[in-house]
Chains A and B, each alone.
Chain A
Amino acid sequence: MSGAGGINGFRCALTALPDGRMVEFAAFASTMPGALAALGAGALAPGSVRRAANGRPATLHFAPARWLLPDPDAALDVWLSAAAAGAGTAVEVEGKWTAMELYGPQAARLLSSSLDVAAVLDARECAAVVLFDCPAVLAASPPGYLIYVQSSYAPDFKAAVTRLCAGA
């Protein structure tokens, strides 16, 4: 149970991840889910995340028929080359998304200043969202979140989070 009391500064930290190669894969409308197994696409509905061995997201099914592939590995690259003609298209989008990590005991509460993350990620591991008026792909990454913000919005997104962390 809790009361209310305005902003007192949320205990969490936002850190930027290094820039790197990123690919967006978009499937053709006619593509069957089975053809996209390499992306971890077991279902048509978006929301799944396939993780690499190091636990980092390898593919994020962030919107219908759309995947974000942060720094795809060699195997995925081979699949992209081979599958592109039949299943969809891969587009190099290095620089489009700025990747950040948000960690801390109040990370969820901070994000809920903008949208209900608990509801958004209730049955999903990732989703295309708008956070503090900034388009982003949000992925659960216990004990925090990975956030891919459209790069032109990233400075203002960081500023919004910083203000909330500072209680300003």
Chain B
Amino acid sequence: MSGDVRHGTRVGSGSIRFSYDGREYSGQPGDTAASALLAQGVRFFGRSVKYRRLRGVLAAGPEEPNALLTVGERPAVIPNVSAPQLAIRDGLALRSQNRWPTLQRDLASLLQAGGGFFGAGFYYKTFMWPSWRSYESIIRRLAGLGEAPGACETPPIAVEHLSCDVLVAGAGAAGLAAARAASRAGARVVLCEREPACGGELEFEGGRIEGQDALPWAAATLAELAARGARLLTETAVVGGSEGQIVLHAEPGGLPGASTLYRVRPRSFVIAMGAVERPIAFVDNDRPGVMLLGAAERYFARYGVSVGRDLVLFANHDRVYAAAARLAAGGMRVRAIVDTRSDMVGAAGVAASLRVELERRGTACLAGHAVVAAEGARELRAVRVAPLAGAGTVRRIVCDALLQSGGWSPCVQAGLQEGGAREYSPGLGAFLAQAQPQWRILCGAANGHLELGAVLADGEAAGEQAARHAGHSTDLPTAAAGRDEWRGGNRGDGAPRLAAFWRSPAPLKAEKRQFVDLQNDVTVADLRAALAEGFVDIEHVKRYTTLGIGTEQGATSSVLGAAILAELKGEGLDKVGTFRSRAPYRPVALKALAGLRVGPAYRTARRTSLDGWHAANGAVLESSGLWMRPRYYRSNGDDAFTAGIAEASRVRASGGIADGSTLGKIEIAGPDASGFLDSMYLTRAGTVKVGRSKYMVNLREDGMVLDDGLVLRLAPDRFLATTSSGHAAHMLSHFEHYRDTEWNGRAVTLTDVTEAWAVIAAAGPQSRAALERVLGPDWRGSLKSLGHMDFADGRFEGRDLRVLRASFSGELAYELHCRPGIAVTLWRALIAAGLAPYGLEALDILRVEKGYLVSSEINGETTPQDLNMDGLLKLGNPCLGRELLDRPAFHEPSRPRLVGVRARDGRTKFQAGAQLTTEDESRHAAGHVTSAVYSPALGEWVGLALLARRLGEEARIVARDPLRGGDTPLRVVPPVHFDPAGERMKS
């Protein structure tokens, strides 16, 4: 067989060489790993995850539970690649999984011998002594699918956001009909198909549609769609979606790597994703050689692969006869058709005539029979067939392939999002999606239609409905007539007339070899054990037994498992239901889900206009929210602690500059600006004179402090409010919310100007002199006359500059608000004038020494009283949140109060986050340290803390920090540790 050139709808001529388990193989262009290996007689594709049983190929699509391969060489391997989906290419190296040392001789397969199979829950019960940890490493080595890659350099992922009128998922008969109908109605259509080629079952089922054979019809339909501008995405599957966005994943060649993630927002979504064929449970139904009937047909039609020479077909519906006829026509010997139905077989239609013909050619058609067991030590050699009623003879039929079909499970996952539910259809022996929102339409096999004419009609109706919902008109009478024609004239294989059948009879002890979920080695015995353990709900049974987990996601096992569970419980399948489907519906590499947010793009950062200078001059940058800010400069020390102390000391001794550009800045303007701000701040903005600024505090509605900052009055009707760096976006949103609700209609505008102004903080006793040198004579007068909290506007290097005298360090200090274009020039000039840069570490030291607040203190749980802002409250401004400050709970002795703390011995370190207790009550926290630094000015550790009000300065408290430093006795002091009178700042 290997030397022959195969012919199929997907394979071309030529040869591709690849390896599997170290042996060289060849295939043809268009082959998958499964088709190429099956064509060369390979039967074994791996071992099962739990029992290490040899496994072959079951399916021809992503639902394949067994044939998962590892691609590549260690450490750059990609595990769990589905062989039926993986396109072969020259040089591809493939390995089977779950075996050691080889697939043929696997040491762990000895687990099958002796003690028999490990049932569900075995791990939980058996490995308890002396402890689970004793066995964990061995079990983890044995468990799991494939091996995790040690390193895997795959190409970057592409992401595309797109919208369309109608998204059609699935390009089988229904999907093509739907896409064409929508496109003809004028809708912009995107059609996605998980396979490399379109047509679905038309590839092998045949039939005639609109006067031509099925496949030419599909090709003509695709050509028409292309001419109408529809977009076709092949090898692209729906993997999830929510809130109107559908996520598609394209994986060319079935290999994770160069894939594309599509985020589609369609106005209408047509789900034509077909149905997945189900197996039937019988003893040893996992033997290599046991395959789904539809899969065998696909391998033959697509790739010219005969999956066996002597076939037995086992099914519960009429379609098995048409399939048998096609396989026989392809040269395979169909030895028997085992039909579980006894009273429906060959009653009428296509199946009846086919049955007669098959029997005439020597095929045994056994109605009312079932395959009860497979035979063969390693692979299928024969099957045992028994009548389902009475005490007839058990026959042994020699065969090398058993092709089974237990019916179909519609692919409704995409219709179950956002509250969708399934309902059982007894006629189909399957679950359908319940009523959908108008924009989401299931059709074809996904909607329970299995006859070609009905599938086409349903697809077209869905396409028209989708187009109408997207705002396009359709010609209803004509379209309806067309559907009637379809119903009458395109029968294909005809109606399946299925009679549900889930498992063959078996002795109780053999149930542990009746596999329900082949990927996870879940057997009928496991389901029985789960029930015995009290796991009666299908969701619990799933978790106890691992039914339907893994890459297969229950595609072939969920309904089968639920049906057998129903049988064991003596309940109807409609009552038992199936477990919920969750996205992703098929395996997607995490890298694909991450999209572009990998490596340097993992997290977007905001950078100030001085960022380049910082990076080039030894700054150690750290993220502060989204902003990148200098923590310290390496020129001042090897670590943050050393450099921070050096930088802070220099500011107090002479002066320094810091990049404060991240400070949030909002311009509030308009005739009503003053009144608006009065309502938003604890103190009135209206009293601030033009050219002056004021420290102001915002409250939330519940009275908690939200943020603080300076408000500058630029003009009578124009203010600039500064916010803390991390709060800028929230504060703008907060202001906008109240402007647009409580203040709706008033003349006030809000503009974020954070990035329009770079800010350089110049602090220290020499800061004024340095500014005078840098800004020149034009500014000298202004600088001299600027009082604390005054500001002046002017120009520097031809651009706007605003100098505000304000301090966050306790020193004589200025904030230079300049246009970003001149920030670096100004920064360099200030350095040349003697002011050295300092970073966040020094900034923190300086502000803690002065008792200034940051988010550690304004933490969303503190009121103005907690933070010693009683003076601001006395002004009585009726602002937002003010009234709730009178709540009694805010005045209880247990409420915190901001205090300063220092080590009682004057030298021991303590850290922010330490819990505070009294010496007497070591088990009851009385507060916590919010900030702590080593103060170079004071020569000891100083901090700020929120401490219960009932404890005064005389309290003997202890900082409890068991994980980092143990206990440190503290003394309570005023929060302002350094220069409490503020003489330096006002000098």
Asked if B670 and A89 sit within 8 Å, CB to CB, the answer is yes
Interface with B: A1-9, A35-43, A50-58, A71-79, which one? A1-9
A7-B158, A89-B670, A132-B596 known; A2+B749 contact, CB < 8 A? no
Which residues of the partner chain A approach B155 to less than 8 Å between Cβ atoms? 6-7
Which residues of the partner chain A approach B748 to less than 8 Å between Cβ atoms? 28
Which residues of the partner chain A approach B718 to less than 8 Å between Cβ atoms? 89
B235 touches which one: A4, A134, A156 (CB < 8 A)?
Answer: A4
Asked if B604 and A3 sit within 8 Å, CB to CB, the answer is no
Q: Is A29 an interface residue (CB 8 A)?
A: yes
Chain B contacts with A in 153-212, Cβ cutoff 8 A: 155-163
Asked if B749 and A88 sit within 8 Å, CB to CB, the answer is yes
B747 touches which one: A30, A114, A115, A156 (CB < 8 A)?
Answer: A30
Asked if B604 and A112 sit within 8 Å, CB to CB, the answer is no
Which residues of the partner chain B approach A89 to less than 8 Å between Cβ atoms? 669-670, 718, 749, 751
Asked if B670 and A3 sit within 8 Å, CB to CB, the answer is no
Bound-state Cα–Cα, A164 to B600, Å: 12
Which bracket fits the contact residues of A? 35 or more
Bound-state Cα–Cα, A48 to B235, Å: 39
Which residues of the partner chain A approach B754 to less than 8 Å between Cβ atoms? 96, 152
Q: Is B689 an interface residue (CB 8 A)?
A: no
Name the CB-closest residue of A to B799.
A94
A5-B258, A19-B821 known; A152+B606 contact, CB < 8 A? yes
Give chain B nearest CB distance to A132 CB in angstroms: 7
Chain A contacts with B in 3-26, Cβ cutoff 8 A: 3-7, 19, 24, 26
Asked if A159 and B163 sit within 8 Å, CB to CB, the answer is no
Q: Is B819 an interface residue (CB 8 A)?
A: yes
Interface with A: B226-234, B427-435, B974-982, which one? B226-234
Bound-state Cα–Cα, A29 to B740, Å: 8
Q: Is A100 an interface residue (CB 8 A)?
A: no
Bound-state Cα–Cα, A79 to B753, Å: 22
Asked if A28 and B609 sit within 8 Å, CB to CB, the answer is no
Give chain B nearest CB distance to A120 CB in angstroms: 9
Asked if A92 and B231 sit within 8 Å, CB to CB, the answer is no
A95-B755, A113-B596 known; A156+B260 contact, CB < 8 A? no
Give chain A nearest CB distance to B747 CB in angstroms: 4
Name the CB-closest residue of B to A133.
B604
Which residues of the partner chain B approach A115 to less than 8 Å between Cβ atoms? 161
A4 touches which one: B156, B236, B670 (CB < 8 A)?
Answer: B236
Bound-state Cα–Cα, A158 to B531, Å: 59
Q: Is A91 an interface residue (CB 8 A)?
A: yes
Bound-state Cα–Cα, A164 to B611, Å: 24
Asked if B607 and A6 sit within 8 Å, CB to CB, the answer is no
Q: Is A109 an interface residue (CB 8 A)?
A: yes
Bound-state Cα–Cα, A27 to B756, Å: 20
Asked if A4 and B756 sit within 8 Å, CB to CB, the answer is no
Q: Is B969 an interface residue (CB 8 A)?
A: no
Asked if B162 and A112 sit within 8 Å, CB to CB, the answer is yes
Give chain A nearest CB distance to B670 CB in angstroms: 6
Which residues of the partner chain A approach B758 to less than 8 Å between Cβ atoms? 95
Asked if B755 and A3 sit within 8 Å, CB to CB, the answer is no
Asked if A118 and B233 sit within 8 Å, CB to CB, the answer is no
Asked if A113 and B820 sit within 8 Å, CB to CB, the answer is no
A153 touches which one: B250, B600, B606 (CB < 8 A)?
Answer: B606
Asked if B607 and A4 sit within 8 Å, CB to CB, the answer is no
A95 touches which one: B744, B752, B756 (CB < 8 A)?
Answer: B756
Give chain B nearest CB distance to A136 CB in angstroms: 12
A93 touches which one: B162, B671, B740, B753 (CB < 8 A)?
Answer: B753
Name the CB-closest residue of B to A167.
B156
Q: Is B558 an interface residue (CB 8 A)?
A: no
Name the CB-closest residue of A to B743.
A29
A6 touches which one: B158, B627, B744 (CB < 8 A)?
Answer: B158
Asked if B609 and A95 sit within 8 Å, CB to CB, the answer is yes
Which residues of the partner chain A approach B479 to less than 8 Å between Cβ atoms? none
Interface of B, secondary structure class, is mixed
Give chain A nearest CB distance to B23 CB in angstroms: 30
Asked if B820 and A6 sit within 8 Å, CB to CB, the answer is no
Asked if A94 and B819 sit within 8 Å, CB to CB, the answer is yes
Which residues of the partner chain B approach A160 to less than 8 Å between Cβ atoms? 596, 601, 604
Which residues of the partner chain B approach A28 to less than 8 Å between Cβ atoms? 670, 746-749
Bound-state Cα–Cα, A85 to B747, Å: 10
Which residues of the partner chain B approach A19 to less than 8 Å between Cβ atoms? 821
Contact string against B for A residues 88-122, beta-carbon threshold 8 Å, 1 for contact and 0 otherwise:
11011111110000000000010011111011000
Give chain A nearest CB distance to B725 CB in angstroms: 11
Bound-state Cα–Cα, A71 to B156, Å: 39
Bound-state Cα–Cα, A7 to B592, Å: 12
Which residues of the partner chain A approach B231 to less than 8 Å between Cβ atoms? 1-2
Bound-state Cα–Cα, A30 to B748, Å: 10
Chain B contacts with A in 592-634, Cβ cutoff 8 A: 596, 600-601, 604-609, 611, 627
Chain B contacts with A in 70-99, Cβ cutoff 8 A: none
Asked if B252 and A26 sit within 8 Å, CB to CB, the answer is no
Chain B contacts with A in 731-764, Cβ cutoff 8 A: 740, 744-758
Q: Is B50 an interface residue (CB 8 A)?
A: no
Bound-state Cα–Cα, A97 to B740, Å: 25
Give chain B nearest CB distance to A81 CB in angstroms: 13
Bound-state Cα–Cα, A168 to B155, Å: 8
Q: Is A141 an interface residue (CB 8 A)?
A: no
Bound-state Cα–Cα, A114 to B748, Å: 34
Give chain B nearest CB distance to A93 CB in angstroms: 4
Which residues of the partner chain B approach A95 to less than 8 Å between Cβ atoms? 609, 755-758, 819-821
Which residues of the partner chain A approach B800 to less than 8 Å between Cβ atoms? 92, 94
Give chain B nearest CB distance to A84 CB in angstroms: 8
Of B158, B671, B752, the most chain A CB neighbours within 10 A belong to B158
Give chain A nearest CB distance to B717 CB in angstroms: 8
Bound-state Cα–Cα, A168 to B598, Å: 11
Asked if B252 and A119 sit within 8 Å, CB to CB, the answer is no
Give chain B nearest CB distance to A18 CB in angstroms: 10
Asked if A134 and B669 sit within 8 Å, CB to CB, the answer is no
Of B161, B265, B627, the most chain A CB neighbours within 10 A belong to B161
A92-B800, A95-B755, A152-B607 known; A118+B821 contact, CB < 8 A? no
Contact string against A for B residues 482-516, beta-carbon threshold 8 Å, 1 for contact and 0 otherwise:
00000000000000000000000000000000000
Bound-state Cα–Cα, A88 to B747, Å: 8
A95-B609, A132-B604 known; A3+B252 contact, CB < 8 A? yes
Name the CB-closest residue of A to B263.
A116
Which residues of the partner chain B approach A85 to less than 8 Å between Cβ atoms? 671
Bound-state Cα–Cα, A91 to B186, Å: 46
Q: Is B460 an interface residue (CB 8 A)?
A: no
Asked if B821 and A152 sit within 8 Å, CB to CB, the answer is no
Bound-state Cα–Cα, A167 to B156, Å: 8
Bound-state Cα–Cα, A152 to B605, Å: 8
26 pairs, A vs B, C-beta closer than 8 Å? A1-B225, A3-B250, A4-B236, A5-B260, A6-B156, A6-B252, A6-B260, A7-B155, A27-B749, A85-B671, A89-B749, A91-B751, A91-B756, A93-B751, A94-B756, A95-B757, A95-B821, A112-B160, A114-B159, A118-B162, A132-B604, A134-B604, A156-B604, A156-B606, A156-B607, A167-B156
* Nearest 8 Cβ contacts at the A-B interface: A6-B258, A4-B250, A95-B820, A26-B749, A152-B606, A89-B669, A133-B604, A119-B163
Interface on B for A, CB 8 Å cutoff?
A: 155-163, 222, 225-226, 230-236, 250, 252, 257-260, 265, 596, 600-601, 604-609, 611, 627, 667, 669-671, 718, 740, 744-758, 799-800, 819-821
